[in-house]
Amino acid sequence: MYKAPRGTSDILPEEQGYFRYIEERAAELCRLYGYERIDTPVFEDARLFIRTIGPGTDIVEKETYSFEDRSGQAMTLRPEGTAPICRAYLEHGMHNLPQPVRLYYIASIFRYERPQKGRYRQHQQFGFEALGDADPALDAEVIDMAWRFFDRIGLSHLCLQLNSIGCKLCRPHYLEELKVHYSAYGDRLCPDCKARLLRNPLRLLDCKKPSCQGVAQSAPRSVDYLCPECGEHFESVLRYLFLLGIPFEKNHRLVRGLDYYTRTVFEIQPKGEAGAQSALGGGGRYDDLIEELGGRPTPAIGFAAGMERIVLNMKEQGVSPPAPSGSKVFVAYFGDEAKDEAVRLIATLRRTGISAFSSFGDRSLKAQLRQADALGASYCLILSEEEVKTGTAMLRDMAKGEQRRVSMGDVVGQLQKENH
Ligand code: AMP
């Protein structure tokens, strides 16, 4: 028996409501904030991700799904949404549009991770990006939008964590200090952190191992090493967030898993789980990324949230998507002539916008009614010899268990009336 590959899952019909609900809330939010949808390919030139996410990161080192296509080109399944958007921004000359360019996406993301609750090898992200402006008011807009998104979904008990990790001018000095601090603990660091110390020191702060967390507690804080411009930028972001009434906590250990971030970084997590691998979403500035890809300097900021984790949190918090609206009509029949009539009637109902179906085959009327019930039909139309002869149908209200005879010509009108 084949199974879905480890770390992936089928989104069955009963789960679809959650995902559609999140997508609808996302699209509404983006309309309000002026973000337009973009879809990029599922795979890209592998170099795009190595270049942007960073060769020393977990994602690029251990987690990409990469393959050579039949012409020998190295391709990678999208492990995050931002780099493809920057590639598209450049490819389509979006710097000629009014800046910032505001875009959003809903896309599958692929990472070869160790599967666990809320961590999969394929997941879906809703993300948005504002490209082409360094104004701290734009940081506040993106953070505000992320915060309001969860509110629209109906999730509560969340916290917003914020940090600034500086720019390419001030960060090197900070990283040096960080290395000095961690080097003093040399042997006590976990093997991953020993490697990070050499290759990606910022990620040291992100280690979840208890032994390393103590070292992180006393580590120097990036905000103390910001250059005057970054310091001022961060202060302004905080001021705008106050202005917008967004509650936030500063988290001096907040860094993100990709190398391209600069200045503002933020995450939204369930309250009380901060630090665990529980972030519902996160984002930050990436002021150098487009330049890194060959464009002119184009500061930008974005955010992405994992849809499966949102669904998990909706279930934990008892937030359900609304039940699908509009009633379903099941057409039951008995006898060959009645079957012809049923096929015709179903087609007529569908053409008038009424959801109608039958299970066909040769079941007894009783079995068909059971099916109608199990499939959640609100009404059942019953056709047997008697109905065919008299040009009528029995209309059964499934919830009330009542039925009445209606003439064939009146069926559509009656059902439309019942639906309102
Ligand atoms: P990241 O691109 O790592 O910042 O991820 C953005 C958001 O996507 C996270 O906050 C999670 O909600 C979600 N996410 C990231 N990785 C996974 C994964 N492997 N499985 C499920 N959700 C994920």
CATH number, domain of 237, equals: 3.30.930.10
Is 189 a member of any domain? no
pLDDT at 278: 84
Q: Single out the residue of 166, 168, 169, 196 nearest to residue 182, CA to CA.
A: 196
Q: Domain check: are 131 and 55 in the same one? A: yes
Q: Domain check: are 118 and 48 in the same one? A: yes
Is 323 a member of any domain? no
Rounded Cα gap, residues 305 and 118, in angstroms: 12
Q: Domain check: are 55 and 135 in the same one? A: yes
Give pTM, 2 decimals.
Answer: 0.93
The residue written with tokens 């009614």 in the block is 369
C-alpha distance across the termini of the chain, in Å: 47
- Where is the domain boundary, 255, 290, 316? 316
Is 2 a member of any domain? no
- Where is the domain boundary, 274, 289, 316? 316
Provide the residue range defining the domain that includes 126: 13-170+226-316
Instruction: Give the residue, by CA position, lying nearest to ligand 1 atom 4.
Output: 282
CA of 63 to the centre of ligand 1 (A): 13
Q: Domain check: are 357 and 301 in the same one? A: no
Is 213 a member of any domain? no
Q: Does the C-beta of 123 come closer than 6 Å to ligand 1?
A: yes
Q: Domain check: are 298 and 360 in the same one? A: no
Name 342's Cβ contacts closer than 8 Å, sequence gap at least 6. 331, 332, 333, 358, 381, 383
- Where is the domain boundary, 276, 294, 316? 316
Q: Domain check: are 295 and 335 in the same one? A: no
Is the Cβ–Cβ distance between 75 and 43 less than 8 Å?
yes
Give me the number of domains the chain comprises. Answer: 2
Q: Single out the residue of 5, 263, 35 nearest to residue 131, CA to CA.
A: 35
Q: Domain check: are 394 and 290 in the same one? A: no
Is the Cβ–Cβ distance between 47 and 74 less than 8 Å?
yes
Q: Tens-digit pLDDT profile for the chain (420 aa)?
A: 999 999 999 999 999 999 999 999 999 999 999 999 999 999 999 999 998 888 777 788 789 999 999 999 999 999 999 999 999 999 999 999 999 999 999 999 999 999 999 999 999 999 999 999 999 999 999 999 999 999 999 999 999 999 999 999 999 999 999 999 999 988 888 988 988 888 888 889 988 888 888 899 899 999 999 999 999 999 999 999 999 999 999 999 998 877 789 999 999 999 976 555 689 999 999 999 999 999 999 999 999 999 999 999 999 999 999 988 788 999 999 999 999 999 999 999 999 999 999 999 999 999 999 999 999 999 999 999 999 999 999 999 999 999 999 999 999 999 988 876
Is 190 a member of any domain? no
Q: Does the C-beta of 158 come closer than 6 Å to ligand 1?
A: no
Instruction: Give the residue, by CA position, lying nearest to ligand 1 atom 16.
Output: 119
Q: Domain check: are 101 and 144 in the same one? A: yes
Is 184 a member of any domain? no
Instruction: Give the residue, by CA position, lying nearest to ligand 1 atom 3.
Output: 257
Is 72 a member of any domain? yes
Q: Domain check: are 247 and 270 in the same one? A: yes
CA of 75 to the centre of ligand 1 (A): 21
> In this structure, what CATH number is given to the domain that contains residue 332?
3.40.50.800
| Sign of the dihedral through C-alpha 204, 207, 209, 210 | positive
pLDDT at 420: 65
Using DSSP's 3-state secondary structure scheme, residue 384 falls into coil
Q: Domain check: are 281 and 409 in the same one? A: no
Q: Domain check: are 381 and 282 in the same one? A: no
Is 302 a member of any domain? yes
Q: Domain check: are 83 and 159 in the same one? A: yes
Q: Does the C-beta of 102 come closer than 6 Å to ligand 1?
A: no
pLDDT at 405: 96
Paired tokens of 132: 């082409």
